[in-house]
Amino acid sequence: MTERYSHLDGLRGLAALAVVFCHFVQLYLPAAFLRTAPDHFGESKISASPLNLVFNGNFAVAIFFVLSGFVLAAPFFNGQSSRWYIKAAIKRYPRLALPALASTLIPCLIYLTFGSNFSATTPLSGYTKTEYFSGFDSITTAVWQGLIGSFLFAEQDYNRVLWTIRTELIGSFGIFVMLPLLGRYPARFIAYAALVLILKDSFLLGFVLGALAADLAFGLRVSINRAASLTLFVLGLYLGAFPYVGQDLLIWRPITAIPLKNIFIVSHLAGAFLCIIALAGLPSLQRLLTTRPCAFLGRISYSMYLIHFTVIGFLGSSLIVNMASLGYGTSLFITLGILLPVVIASAYLFTIMIDEPSIRLSNRLAKMLMNSPRSTSAA
């Protein structure tokens, strides 16, 4: 594997695309997530089947967290020193926060300029949260939530997807601390086991599983043959497809029988873990994930994650309302056909104008601080 683990970037891109589909379905076909919502096209039945993988956003987020744990832990097991982790810790907040800030300012400016049509779509869709995409009238609040509120207090009114950003920051720093302290000792496996038990109801478990996956791959050099890898990958997809609704169906009984309080989260995190470790033994799937479309989605994945909810909510609702005379189904499918290229194009622009400059800025900041006279003398 290269340092950037390019096939995992492709996997991250596909997971980001699944989140896009998830929120489109959540906002405009809510029966896939709520039994009380009207079922327009049989989406409640699709959601209860393994086909929900296409829009199972919770599984996609689980993949994000396990991937983050893996990618942040892998350099340690490949010989990087604690200095690498100090530099990574310096970069982490600005790398996450500057794009997050842009992602809260953009919907605020859109709302102040154009308003929102979203509440007009809820009688058509049956979605109950009519307050979404409204009240974005404070630039101060947008700045606060983008830079501080989402990271410290999980505030995400201006961009709902930022509920993950606090977990991402905490989990990242957990890796930065744990591995330099314990990573070279057998006792780290006791730490893994303890953290799995402690964090079993939290998405932070994903970072522990990601670190364990990197340890198995690069620390212990565990090799899995193709047949076993394929079995683990299919099992991972099964666990990842555990649905929002319809969990009482016979197909999901092996999962619901597990006596855990939050089996929904655990199942998705375990599925993500199995898929990621299985990929090491599936070179054909790795090649698929490194094709140009997947590589491109991987490049824009963070931007697509941050910006898509705004595009789907503001532009999507405006399109649906203005095409209401065509019928809800027709307007919805036309809207989806328009939204997908707009989301991807917006994410690309966000990447080259905001995300990648933020990465370069955070790299310069870390380099400047690491090369300062104090840090040099301390080293």
For residue range 180-232, what is the model confidence (pLDDT) as tens digits? 999 999 999 999 999 999 999 999 999 999 999 999 999 999 999 999 999 99
Q: Provide the whole-model pTM.
A: 0.95
Distances, alpha carbon 343 to alpha carbons 13, 43, 50, 339, in Å: 13, 22, 26, 6
Neighbours of 375 (CB within 10 A): 15
Average the pLDDT over 82-92 and give the result: 93
Average the pLDDT over 5-33 and give the result: 96
Q: How far apart are CA 162 and CA 100, in angstroms?
A: 8
pLDDT at 18 > cutoff 50? yes
pLDDT range class, residue 5, cuts 50, 70, 90: confident
- Are the C-beta atoms of 84 and 75 separated by less than 8 Å? yes
Q: Tell me, what's the pLDDT at 171?
A: 98
Average the pLDDT over 94-98 and give the result: 98
Instruction: Identify the residue whose tokens are 């201006």.
Output: 158
Q: Comparing C-alpha atoms, which of 244, 198, 206, 219 is closest to residue 33?
A: 244
Average the pLDDT over 121-145 and give the result: 95
Q: At what angle do helices 263-279 and 57-77 cross, to 10 degrees?
A: 50
pLDDT at 4 > cutoff 60? no
- Are the C-beta atoms of 50 and 262 separated by less than 8 Å? no
Q: How far apart are CA 372 and CA 367, in angstroms?
A: 8
Where residue 223 falls (left for φ over 0; alpha for ψ -120 to 50; beta otherwise) is beta
Instruction: Identify the residue whose tokens are 């492709």.
Output: 10
Q: Comparing C-alpha atoms, which of 250, 260, 315 is closest to residue 116?
A: 315
Determine the Cα angle at 189 with ends 183 and 191, to 5°: 80
- Are the C-beta atoms of 319 and 338 separated by less than 8 Å? yes
Q: Tell me, what's the pLDDT at 3?
A: 46
Q: Tell me, what's the pLDDT at 379?
A: 40
Average the pLDDT over 328-344 and give the result: 97
- Are the C-beta atoms of 347 and 307 separated by less than 8 Å? yes
Per-residue buried b or exposed e for 221-231, using 16+ beta carbons within 10 Å of the residue's own CB = eeebeeeebee
pLDDT at 49 > cutoff 90? yes
Neighbours of 188 (CB within 10 A): 18
Domain locations along the chain = 6-378
Average the pLDDT over 84-100 and give the result: 96
Q: How far apart are CA 28 and CA 12, in angstroms?
A: 25
Give the distance, in angstroms, between the CA of residue 209 and the centroid of all CA atoms in the same chain: 15
Q: How far apart are CA 254 and CA 273, in angstroms?
A: 18
Exposed/middle/buried for residue 253 (C-beta within 10 Å: 0-12, 13-18, 19+): exposed
For 221-265, what is each residue's pLDDT tens digit?
A: 999 999 999 999 999 999 999 999 999 999 999 999 999 989 999
For 154-163, what is each residue's pLDDT tens digit?
A: 999 999 999 9
Average the pLDDT over 347-370 and give the result: 96
